[in-house]
Structure 1
Amino acid sequence: MPSTRILLAKRLKLTTAALCVLVLSLATPLLLHQSRAYSLAENGVRSLDRFRATLLAMESVSAERGPANGALGADALNAPSLRLPLINARAESDRRLAVLRSLVTSQACPGCTVERASVDAVQTQLAAARKQVDGLIAQPLEQREHDAVLSAVNEMIAVIPSFGPLANASSAGVVRGDPNALNCVLVARLTAQLREQAGLLGSTFTAALTAHRRLSETELFAQERAKGRIEELRSLIAARVEHTPVGSAIYQRLASVYYDNGMSYMARVRAMALHPEGANLTAAELAAEYVPTMQPIVQFRDYVLDLAETEVKGHRNDALMLLVASGIGTAVVLYLLLIASVYFRRRFVQPFIQAADIIMAIADGKLETPVPHGEHRLEIRSLFHAILVLKENSIEKMRLEHERNILLRELETVADTDFLTRLLNRRAFERKATATLSRRAGTQAKQVLIMFDADRFKQINDTLGHAAGDLALQTIGRLCSEIWHQPDIVARLGGEEFAVLTRVDDAFEAVAAANELRRRLASTALELDGVRFTVTLSFGISLATQTGRETLDALLLRADKLLYSAKLGGRNCIVSDIESSTSH
């Protein structure tokens, strides 16, 4: 029997191990796939950071040409302030290039050899181009040769293509990480090229404006080529914006500001520059007018990059969630297999072995071997489980009934309460007041109905607005709650009209309470949006008969007539049938 026990235990362990191996063999390819997907998605996020940094650095270097052209076309030697825009532009270019270099040299980009080489090439070219520009700026304006100025401009232009490998490598990494970001990447790339071509178009005027001469054929050809490329890029961007979720509103601003205003301005400058004496314009003046029209291009590019970032990071987060879910799912399945193995061994294998041992003992003549009475254990446990379920259901039922009663009381309170003043509404007032009046017969206490409303309330709403009217009503409700308490019945009947049914030993107590409300409200300065105003009340007070036969409607009608008398009597006063005089 010991051998049988060991054999069964071994077989159970082997079966469990085989199932675990099967689960792992099925889950491993999925985990590897999700891990690769997450790695690509994470690399896509980092690639997008490099792609954005590349476009920003390229934009800064391109934008640097504007103040450089302005300095080349002006007497910057005798006017150092003209170099300040160039100094600021160069500082911005250096800052963005430093950000780009930090991204391609960080530990998160160990394979960015092409990117690092491209950054080195850009910085080398840019330093050489700047040196040539500085050399010309140091010369007097009249000594700057046309060919030298044109060469300096071209050297600055030639720096931009060196960003190409950077943009290509980083955009490819973005698309590998999230193919759905392809459209945004392409639109951003096209928009960056549009910004470069727009700047290039402006640079073609620099040499002619510096020399105050007519545009040459070479310059005219360069302008036509730049304009043709701009129109081509416009068509490509418009086609992708039209059929994709890329926002059209910001693109329309680009079209309006640059394509319409910017290109129209350049056409006018071109027409002036075709005169024999050239355009009466400096390169700095051209840049000051033309460069701002290119700002919507940059804004549209940043908008598209933000869309790409949202898409790429969302894809990365989804890939991470899938990877974590796959890992947790695999671990849960393995854990359940182990739990099932232990449970099966305790609930079935061990009882089977115990039964076998008992059978063999009986077979050996050991009749004194006790036989456990476990055949009813499951049924008894099920019975207690059923009782426990019944108890839990009863507890749950009582809890639900208690919550239902609370909810009914809350609903009743909401149904009876005016939402603005937190007093009773008309329906609740009529119900409670009717019940109270029906119980007054035979008692010594007196029931007094007080009706009042705000004077010239419509004028407050019309002149100060409904918010002022609401503030007045809320203030009246607050003061009523401070003056009257249970069992007094206080309600807003509707609009600016209120009613109170109060039980007092002396009817004049009701008049005194009404007078207190009248005085306190009249002396309370309300303020809304800097405007201060006050509200007064007119009261009609009627004493209920002691017979118990008078209805609420009759009592309301009498109080309403008294209230009307108070209105006719000049408002902000009390008229009652408790005494013949009128209280002011």
Structure 2
Amino acid sequence: MRLTRLFTLASAVLALLVCGMLGRLLWGEWEHYRAAGTGHHTLQLMQRAMVAAEKLSYERGPVNAVLGDHLPADPARHARLLRARADTDLALAQLRQDLAADAGPATALAPLYDALGAARLTVDQLAALPPAERTPERLDAAIERMFQLVPLALNAVTSYTRASEQVYPRIARILMKARLTVELREFAGRLGSALTVPLAAPRPLTEADHQRLQFLRGRIEQLRQLIKIPSSDIDSEPRVLAAVARMDEVYFAAGQRLVAEVEQASRAGRAYGMDTGQFAQRYVPCMAPILALRDVLLQEAQTQALQDYEAARHELVLALLVGAAILLALTLLLAIVRRRVVVPLLRATRAVVRLGNGDFSMPPSGARRDDEIGDMLRALATLRANSMDRQRLEQERVRLIEELRLRADTDYLTGILNRRAFTAAGNLRLRGARDQGESLAVILFDVDHFKSVNDSYGHDAGDQVLIRIAEVVRDSLRDGEIVARYGGEEFVVMPTYCGLEAAHALAERLREAISREPLTLSDGHILRVTASFGVAVAHGPHAALDDLFHAADLALYRAKRNGRNRVEQQA
């Protein structure tokens, strides 16, 4: 196939691919924009469900007050119950209306309405009985029916909650915490309702009552800690921090204290000093900060969702503009390439192929042309000459790099590793020790009274001492054991993976080898030098090389302080 035809075919394929890619990109941006709009509505729907659940929980307070009322009944308590029921009905009506507007399954609320009607009927029938006939069993049954309403309200929008989290993964953690606040409010209400029967009877709390209160407190504290665990940037917002602090101050201080007072009165055999209605009037307001925290979280979620919606709209517009620009640029580029590159390139194909195959035996012909192809051929000729030179220079560079690497890792005086190379090797071995669950030891030692050697015999003698000690230690070590000059007259040894006892034995062997090895100076003097050793071992996932060196250095200091020419290990 000729190059012109190949270029035409390639241009068509490229245009199709670019159009397909742009179409896929634009479709994805459109879907994201559409999903962002619907997802913002689902957030509002979820908020409606949480409000309905909160109203159902709030209704239990007046219910408890009415069930614990005496005859004649208090009209104010009955009026509060009617207002609470009206608020609940309004919240459920709004939720049902939103579900219908969203073409959602409004029938999902049917089980809730049935259960709510049955629970209210049970409460009304029980409240109409004389107090003596309101047995604990009947009271528990009525309260339990009220407990079952909140999960039904939340389950009605569970699918919407998941949809919101999928559309807005960035705020999924915020939604989770908002759901946790609803659960916290529910269990806080259950904690107060657990005292309805004892307060209404009145009778002391049974052991089962105390156990139930302890269970509810544990669940409440668990939800509290889950809410306070930092999981996103929202947790550092001043509004959220203030709402959490207010919840701790009001409910977890005053509200929990009120429940504890009832428990203490029961254990002491004292009168409670309040009935269910009075308890509800004091306890229910303490739960308001929990709902305030929920509202703050939902407001932040709505704000971020709106920001995501606006960002999706801007990205859609930007994608449209970029797509149009890409298509225009592609058309112009193909026209320019065909006119100024493809046609002249046909004449230079053979030279390019020859040079592309690495055949530098013949220089490209036609280098005298006064156009772009001529410039390319002249460049290829220059490239041919430079490639041969570059090959020679590359070989020399590799040799010099290897030589520099060796010098960078070696101590110039003793020929052993220097501190930098030892640190790199030590960190590598420490990672291996952590991976294999082994212990890693470090032996740090320096020459005793080295300054006096320099002062008495000169620095050349001191250098000979260091060189000879390095030779003695290196000859005494086995394969895999590392020795390096750590600085001045200080040396460091890292054995293979071993414990403290084996490292101590190795240090003792090195100490003896140094002390018994005489050194003859160039002027004939014979010196016997000793060294002090510090041994340290580290193991476990948190082991660090700096900490290991520090422990060995402390042990070395003890060795010098205790008389030198000895081995001390980490405490």
Class of the TM-score when normalised by the shorter of the 2 chains: 0.5 to 0.7
Which residue of structure 1 lines up, in the alignment, with residue 265 of structure 2? 272
- Measure, in 1, the Cα distance between the counterparts of 2:168 and 2:255: 35
User: What is the 5 A alignment of 1:401-420?
Assistant: none
4+ long deviations beyond 6 Å = 13-20, 335-343
- Measure, in 1, the Cα distance between the counterparts of 2:230 and 2:176: 9
Shift of 1:140: 2.8
2:35 to 14, 31, 40: 40
1:98 to 93, 97, 101: 93
Which residue of structure 2 lines up, in the alignment, with residue 255 of structure 1? 248
Map Cα deviations across residues 446-483 of structure 1 (whole Å, 9 max, x no partner): xxxxxxxxxxxxxxxxxxxxxxxxxxxxxxxxxxxxxx
User: What is the 5 A alignment of 1:143-182?
Assistant: 143-166=133-156, 168-182=158-172
- Aligned pair in 2 of structure 1 residues 167, 239: CA closer, same or farther (>3 Å)? farther
CA contact (8 A) 2:53 2:154 kept: no
- Measure, in 1, the Cα distance between the counterparts of 2:320 and 2:117: 52
Which residue of structure 2 lines up, in the alignment, with residue 222 of structure 1? 212
CA contact (8 A) 2:49 2:153 kept: yes
1:283 to 267, 276, 281: 276
CA contact (8 A) 1:64 1:89 kept: yes
- Measure, in 2, the Cα distance between the counterparts of 1:165 and 1:261: 32
Matched residue type, 1:70: A
Shift of 1:339: 10
Identity over aligned pairs, percent: 29
CA contact (8 A) 1:214 1:275 kept: no
Unaligned runs of at least 5 residues, structure 2: 1-7, 337-571
CA contact (8 A) 1:72 1:149 kept: yes
CA contact (8 A) 2:173 2:232 kept: no
Q: Does residue 121 of structure 1 match 2:111? A: yes
Shift of 1:88: 0.8
Unaligned runs of at least 5 residues, structure 1: 1-12, 344-584
- Measure, in 2, the Cα distance between the counterparts of 1:245 and 1:172: 25
- The alignment of Structure 1 onto Structure 2 pairs a total of residues equal to 334
Which residue of structure 2 lines up, in the alignment, with residue 373 of structure 1? none
- Measure, in 1, the Cα distance between the counterparts of 2:218 and 2:180: 14
Which residue of structure 2 lines up, in the alignment, with residue 194 of structure 1? 184
Matched residue type, 2:21: L
- Aligned pair in 2 of structure 1 residues 28, 92: CA closer, same or farther (>3 Å)? same
Which residue of structure 2 lines up, in the alignment, with residue 502 of structure 1? none
Q: TM-score, normalised by structure 2?
A: 0.53
Which residue of structure 1 lines up, in the alignment, with residue 309 of structure 2? 316
Which residue of structure 1 lines up, in the alignment, with residue 81 of structure 2? 86
- Measure, in 2, the Cα distance between the counterparts of 1:165 and 1:145: 32
Matched residue type, 1:259: F
Give the aligned CA root-mean-square deviation in angstroms.
Answer: 3.3
Map Cα deviations across residues 547-584 of structure 1 (whole Å, 9 max, x no partner): xxxxxxxxxxxxxxxxxxxxxxxxxxxxxxxxxxxxxx
- Aligned pair in 2 of structure 1 residues 281, 273: CA closer, same or farther (>3 Å)? farther
- Aligned pair in 2 of structure 1 residues 275, 118: CA closer, same or farther (>3 Å)? farther
CA contact (8 A) 1:214 1:278 kept: no
CA contact (8 A) 1:51 1:166 kept: no
2:296 to 292, 295, 303: 303
Partner of 1:280, secondary structure, is: coil
Shift of 1:69: 0.5
- Measure, in 1, the Cα distance between the counterparts of 2:226 and 2:210: 24
Shift of 1:61: 0.2
Q: Does residue 245 of structure 1 match 2:240? A: no
Shift of 1:170: 2.6
Matched residue type, 2:236: P
Which residue of structure 1 lines up, in the alignment, with residue 319 of structure 2? 326
- Which has the greater radius of gyration? 1
- Measure, in 2, the Cα distance between the counterparts of 1:14 and 1:117: 58
- Aligned pair in 2 of structure 1 residues 212, 239: CA closer, same or farther (>3 Å)? same
Matched residue type, 1:170: Y
Q: TM-score, normalised by structure 1?
A: 0.52
- Measure, in 2, the Cα distance between the counterparts of 1:203 and 1:281: 14
CA contact (8 A) 2:50 2:154 kept: no
User: What is the 5 A alignment of 1:389-404?
Assistant: none
Matched residue type, 1:191: T
Which residue of structure 2 lines up, in the alignment, with residue 235 of structure 1? 225
Partner of 2:101, secondary structure, is: coil
- Measure, in 2, the Cα distance between the counterparts of 1:126 and 1:336: 65
- Measure, in 2, the Cα distance between the counterparts of 1:217 and 1:119: 38
Matched residue type, 2:93: A
- Measure, in 1, the Cα distance between the counterparts of 2:187 and 2:314: 42
Which residue of structure 1 lines up, in the alignment, with residue 464 of structure 2? none
- Aligned pair in 2 of structure 1 residues 238, 337: CA closer, same or farther (>3 Å)? closer
- Aligned pair in 2 of structure 1 residues 167, 76: CA closer, same or farther (>3 Å)? farther
Which residue of structure 1 lines up, in the alignment, with residue 21 of structure 2? 26
- Measure, in 2, the Cα distance between the counterparts of 1:59 and 1:134: 21
- Measure, in 1, the Cα distance between the counterparts of 2:107 and 2:213: 32
